[in-house]
């Protein structure tokens, strides 16, 4: 797998209410039927979660 749980990632596409360039964290990974990752997003101001989407590896990139 390219990513693992708790990896910080940036989105490369708009999906749902999550805009391209948003920063989130991998919370779950899948291998079947395809490699995919659930990513959760939080507000910077109050650390409240505001989004959760599933991404293919080509739709996210690692952030250091």
Give residue 44's pLDDT. 78
Give residue 55's pLDDT. 97
pTM > 0.85: yes
Domain ranges across the chain: 8-62
The answer to whether the bond into 33 is cis (omega within 30° of 0) is yes
Each residue of 42-51: pLDDT tens digit?
987 888 888 9
> Which residues of the chain have a pLDDT value below 70?
1
Give residue 1's pLDDT. 63
């Amino acid at each position: 797998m390219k990513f693992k749980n708790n990896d910080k990632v940036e989105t490369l596409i708009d999906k749902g209410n999550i805009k391209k360039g948003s920063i989130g964290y991998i919370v779950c990974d899948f291998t079947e039927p395809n490699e995919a990752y659930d990513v959760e997003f939080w507000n910077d101001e109050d650390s409240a979660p505001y989004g959760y989407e599933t991404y293919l590896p080509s739709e996210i990139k690692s952030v250091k």
